[in-house]
Structure 1
Amino acid sequence: MKLTMQVKLLPTAEQAASLLKTMEQFNAACDTLAAIAFSNKCANKVELQKIAYHGIRADFGLSAQMTVRAIAKVVEVYKRDKSIQPSFRPHGAIVYDERILSWKGSDRVSVLTVDGREIMPWVAGAYQHARLDRVRGQADLIYRDGQFFLYVTIDVGDVPPGDPTEYLGVDLGRKNIAADNDGETFSGAHIANLRNRHARLRRKLQKKGTKSAKRLLKRRRAKESRFARDVNHRISKAIVRKAKDTGRGIALEDLKGIRARTTVRRSQRRAHHSWSFHQLRAFLTYKAAMEGVPLVCVDPRNTSRECPCCGMIDKRNRPDRDTFRCIQCGHAGPADTTAAVNISRRGSRHAAERRAA
């Protein structure tokens, strides 16, 4: 199993200028390669290299391997849609491999630039340092907000998944980010309050329109997403830990396309479209795989309307957003927990059917 690890580079002013120059030359070469690929209708790396390799090296001063990486990047993008000619931002990412980037001890990295090799320090947390020996394959050099980062691929190994008979059902939502069938809920109130506060501040700064207001907007633009990402990391870690400790798998609803399937009032649109359920599911997926906890996605239809006691399905079972009360048998409880119970049972049935097959 492979994951992506972020480390921050600390180049000197001269090294930073050299990295920026390399990015600009590399992406300018990609633009030229894209024009050649588009005009020749060529989406094959070997064929494009035969056509353009020597000209790109001569015109842009790239090394042999960096030219090869530029060709690979262009072909990868062009293959997605051959009806348009790709274009590349001047400071777009550069893909490095082992031939043009190497790690020097625990705090230095050697990076190839158009001005030659540059050895520069990097910093990261204890998590990244502990996994440096697992670096595999390529690394992407990213320039963001005046800083340079390396996104490195690491191999964390494969943990054989277990074969549990029971599954921890997890209902994902906006008011409660997650709720499981044990009755534990992870409230989204703090994220909602933060997003409302940021929205008010954005409106105020955008209305003001001064240079200082624009600078403040730029500094704060990623603060909300970083906070939500941290919350999703903590929630997913807690859910996976509980499932592992109790010998259960994890069952989730398959919410793919939910924004296209559902409609909300105008006042709820911002909250609806900023709901990061896909990120939480991605975190749960890879954390569960690392711990050997199987994860299944089940059909989400009627999970919040079905009574777990008698099986009655009716929208009147939900008199309001937070309450479930069966109109047939009288079973009542928190709506999110009830939905998680149904998800748990569907996950267990899914596992039983898989074993039977």
Structure 2
Amino acid sequence: MVKSGRTIKLRLYPNTDQADQFLAMSQEYQRLANIVSQWIFDHGFQLSWLKINHRLYKLFRQESELNSQMIQSVFRTVSAHYKTVRKQMKQHTYAYKNEENKWIRVPRDLTWLVKPIQFRRPQADLVRQSNYSFVDKMQQVSMTTLGKRIKLGFTNKGFEKYFIDDWKLGTAKLVHNRGKWFLHIGITKEVSDFDTKDNPQIVGIDRGLRFLATAFDNEGKTLFFDGKKILRKREKFLDIRRQLQSKGTRSAQKRLKQLAQRENRWMSDVNHRIAKTLVALYGSHTLFVLEDLTNVTFNTDDLPKSLRNSHRSWAFFQLESFLTYKAQAIQSIVVKVNPAFTSQRCPRCGLVEKTNRHHDTHEYWCKKCQYRCNDDRLGAMNIKMLGQDWLRGIKRPKIKKLITVG
């Protein structure tokens, strides 16, 4: 059995006094989080909860109105943020060209940070039962504040099933967004393991810019998720962003922030729909195979220069994350493979040749056996092949470049 996790978002309905209590508590939580962050930065990035607790707990208890449990939550919240940043920095090395014009990659760690992580928005992490609980037959939620506990109504529209199935509710985050209060609750459930012995279906998925995802399955069928509409939408966002940046006023800066949030919500919705479609189409007991895109830069030569940097920032990792947890919930699995040569290998004769791929026509044409194919489809085919290698027990399947004969 494995644990499947996700987050449900409940809308809260506090009255004016309760909203003021929420704001005071979340601002105090934010203040302490920034103090802890500064301490970690000043003390060699010690992320041990025990060390942080030993140095700061008594001080916080004396000067803060937060209860003991929430102070402990502050320590865990800040430590988790630094661990996440450390993982991201490890994945994305610093790259530069040396005097010989060769790319050099330098690993990074937290010492590369020039200032401590800042917690810019009021927030609060609440422990189940200790800081929040559901009462009155799940009609209200009881929550901790700086003063006494309060009860208030909420809506769980769309999330009802998570309260009646075997889902376990965990730590929740109190979030204030555009004048509304939400409770984001992490939930987990034990699901059956993916079984590799029952001849699972294999689906290779190539992610890119022209097509956000191209899937190739056991039956030789291909599914394309067109990125043209996405490109046009991002172009509109870029135009609005430029207009606001040229103004430079305070109201323009506020609009820019709102625009960024809107674009992020839109990208999340697109990735959710793609992942949901893939899971619904291929069903349970499917091996979804993706390329490991860590440190991979997409070719944007066929895009306007003004859009190249913007389009590179599409949330490809987010799609991977959504697909992973959605697949796990139906006893499927996502596996990542080495991306080397997946767009250069001929699936018919095995020749690996970079010049066989023609970016201008988006076509692959093998010089040796004359096999022709859409280049995105070809990538998905080769990724699927690596998935077959993974099923045969090869831990890190990779395409090896063959020497051209004759």
Matching of residues 125-140 of structure 1 within 5 Å? 125-126=157-158, 128-133=159-164, 134-140=167-173
Measured against aligned partners, the alpha-carbon deviations of 1:62-92 in whole angstroms (never above 9, x if no partner) come to 2222233234335555776589885653644
Q: Is contact 1:166–1:348 with CA below 8 Å preserved after alignment?
A: no
Q: Percent identity?
A: 27
- Within a 5 Å distance, the mapping from 1:173-188 to structure 2 comes to 173-181=208-216, 182-188=221-227
Alpha-carbon spacing, 1:3–1:316, altered in 2? closer, same or farther (3 Å): same
Displacement of 1:15 in angstroms is: 1.3
Asked if residue 70 in structure 1 is aligned to residue 69 in structure 2, the reply is no
CA contact (8 A) 1:175 1:187 kept: yes
1:23 is matched with which residue: 8, 15, 26?
A: 26
- Could you tell me which residue of structure 1 aligns to residue 277 of structure 2? 238
Give the counterpart letter for 2:337 in structure 1: V
Distance in 2 separating the partners of 1:170 and 1:43: 37
In structure 2, what residue type is equivalent to 1:256? Answer: T
What's 1:278 paired with?
317
- 1:293 equivalent in structure 2: 332
CA deviation after TM superposition for structure 1 residue 280, in Å = 0.9
**CA distance 1:226–1:317, change in 2 (3 Å):** same
The DSSP-based 3-state class of the residue aligned with 1:353 is coil
2:380 maps to 1:340: yes
Q: Which residue of 190, 214, 217 maps to 1:157?
A: 190
Counterpart Cα distance in 2 of 1:196 and 1:37 = 40
Q: Secondary structure at the match of 2:171?
A: strand
Q: Does residue 147 of structure 2 align to residue 115 of structure 1?
A: yes
Q: Contact 1:243/1:293 (CA < 8 Å) preserved in 2?
A: no
Opposite residue 118 of structure 1, the aligned amino acid is I
Relative to structure 1, the CA distance from residue 329 to residue 145 in structure 2 (aligned partners, 3 Å threshold; closer, same or farther) is: same
Corresponding position: 1:171 with 2:206: yes
Q: 1:253 aligns with which of 291, 296, 299?
A: 291
Q: Tell me, yes or no, if the aligned pair for 2:122 and 2:176 is still in contact at 8 Å.
A: yes
CA distance in 1 between partners of 2:42 and 2:261 (Å):
39
Segments of structure 2 that go 5 or more residues without pairing to the other structure are 87-109, 396-406
Q: Following the alignment from structure 1 to structure 2, what is the Cα–Cα distance between the partners of residues 22 and 34?
A: 18
SS in 1 for 2:358: coil
Is contact 1:28-1:88 (8 Å) kept?
no
Summarize deviations over 1:96-123 as a string: whole Å, max 9, x none. 1020111224342111111221212222
Cα deviation for residue 154 of structure 1 reads 0.8
State the distance in 2 between where 1:225 and 1:85 align.
25
Q: Quick one: which amino acid aligns to residue 162 of structure 1?
A: D
For structure 1, the residue ranges without an aligned partner over 5 or more in a row are none
What is the CA-CA distance between 1:326 and the residue it aligns to? Answer: 1.2
User: Is the CA contact (8 Å cut-off) linking 1:255 and 1:300 kept in structure 2?
Assistant: yes
1:80-99 aligned at under 5 Å gives the runs 81=110, 86=116, 88-89=118-119, 91-98=121-128, 99=130
Q: Which amino acid aligns with 1:24?
A: Q
| 2:132 matched residue in structure 1 | 101
In 1: Cα distance, 2:355 partner to 2:36 partner: 60
Change in 2 beyond 3 A, CA 1:281/1:206: same
Return closer, same or farther for 1:226/1:107 CA change in 2, 3 Å cut-off: farther
**CA RMSD of the aligned region, Å?**
2.9
Give the TM-score taking structure 2 as reference length: 0.77
Say yes or no: does 1:226 pair with 2:230: no
What are the superposed Cα offsets for residues 290-331 of structure 1, whole Å, 9 maximum, x if unpaired?
111132222211111111111122122112352111111111
| Cα distance in 2 between the residues matched to 1:205 and 1:90 | 22
Deviations 1:42-71 (A, max 9, x none): 754445545543442231222222233234
Partner of 1:57: 61
Change in CA separation of 1:130 and 1:116 when aligned onto 2, cut-off 3 Å: same
Q: Kindly indicate which of the two structures has a greater share of residues assigned to helix.
A: 1
Provide the rounded CA distance (Å) in 1 between the counterparts of 2:243 and 2:58: 53
Q: Secondary structure at the match of 2:242?
A: helix
1:177 is matched by which residue type in structure 2? L
- Whether 1:144 aligns to 2:177 is yes
SS of aligned partner of 1:106: coil
Following superposition, the deviation at residue 6 of structure 1 comes to 1.9
Q: Does 1:191 align with 2:230?
A: yes
Determine if contact 2:33/2:119 at 8 Å carries over to the other structure.
Answer: no
Q: Which amino acid aligns with 2:212?
A: I
How many residues in Structure 1 have an aligned counterpart in Structure 2?
Answer: 352
Identify the range of structure 1 (21-30 vs 329-338) with the bigger mean alpha-carbon deviation. 21-30
C-alpha contact (below 8 Å) 1:305/1:317 kept by paired residues: yes
Query: Helix, strand or coil: the match of 1:291?
Result: coil
- Equivalent in the alignment of 2:341: 302
1:204–1:327: structure 2 CA closer, same or farther, 3 Å change rule? same
TM-score by length of 1: 0.86
Contact 1:34–1:85, Cα closer than 8 Å, also in 2: no
Paired residues of 1:254 and 1:299 also in contact (CA < 8 A): yes
Change over 3 Å in CA distance of 1:205–1:268 after alignment to 2: closer
CA distance in 2: counterparts of 1:284 and 1:77, whole angstroms: 23
- Relative distance call for 1:154 and 1:283 in structure 2 (3 A) is same
Shift of 1:227: 1.8
